[in-house]
Amino acid sequence: MTVDGRLARGERTRTAVLDAAVSLASANGLDGLSLGHLADSLGVSKSGLFAHWRSKEALQLATIDRAVAQWQELIIGPALRAPRGVRRIHALHEARIAFYATRVLPGGCFFATTEFEFKGRPGAVRDRLVAAFADWTALLERLVREAVELGELPAEVDVALLAYEIDSSGIAAAMRSRLFDPETTYRHARRGVLDRLRALCPDPHLLPEGPS
């Protein structure tokens, strides 16, 4: 950013490149991302990319950061406008599934694809992905803990376990929606978490009966 708020010269270009990289990597992974294809899809030359990032790994790291920003903007941000407690947990899960359903990313979920890809490959890319995943898990656990503190979930609830189960449903949705019927998959992912929250929440009016 420059002082007057306009984007610096190459900033728009960089963002456009990273958006395309997130999209391609959501389908083929960060290692499966070909710089030649990426450049072609943008109508620029491959060597031009190296004016902005010194190596493929640097571009991969920037792509992860961009995906995190998108996730924050399109999923976490809107969900945090819901009231604290179980409704906020539900809103976050719904926003996630809805995002998958938009097909903005052809691969469904950038993080699921890339984290599976790099789970066994040590290095800076894996470290960055793990950090992003840890942040996401911490957010989920924080929302669950808040709901417990508000009395909207029983005090005996295993916070980390419930967060694991909610996230599991989303991970499976990212995968199964691209292999089987997407609508059925999304219905399972939404119904399962909603039923679980409703079963745990003493107040039956806080959450809708059916997936919204």
CA dihedral 41, 47, 49, 54 (to 10 degrees): 150
Number of H helices, E strands in the chain: 10, 0
Binding partner at 134 among its own copies, DNA, none, C-beta below 5 to 8 Å by kind: its own copies
- 155 residue type, one letter: A
CA–CA gap between residue 52 and residue 47 (Å, rounded): 10
Query: In the chain, how long is the greatest CA-to-CA distance?
Result: 59
Q: Which of 86, 97, 129, 143 binds its own copies (CB under 8 A)?
A: 129
Binding piece for its own copies, criterion CB under 8 A, among 40-48, 54-62, 73-81, 180-188: 180-188
| Minimum CB–partner distance for residue 154 and its own copies (Å) | 13
- If one asks whether residue 63 binds its own copies (CB under 8 A), the answer comes out as no
Quick one: 36 or 83, whose CB is closer to DNA? 36
Residue ranges that bind DNA, judged by CB under 7 A: 8-10, 13, 33-37, 39, 43-48, 50-52, 54-57
Quick one: 14 or 190, whose CB is closer to its own copies? 190
| Minimum CB–partner distance for residue 19 and DNA (Å) | 15
CA–CA gap between residue 138 and residue 198 (Å, rounded): 22
CA–CA gap between residue 93 and residue 165 (Å, rounded): 11
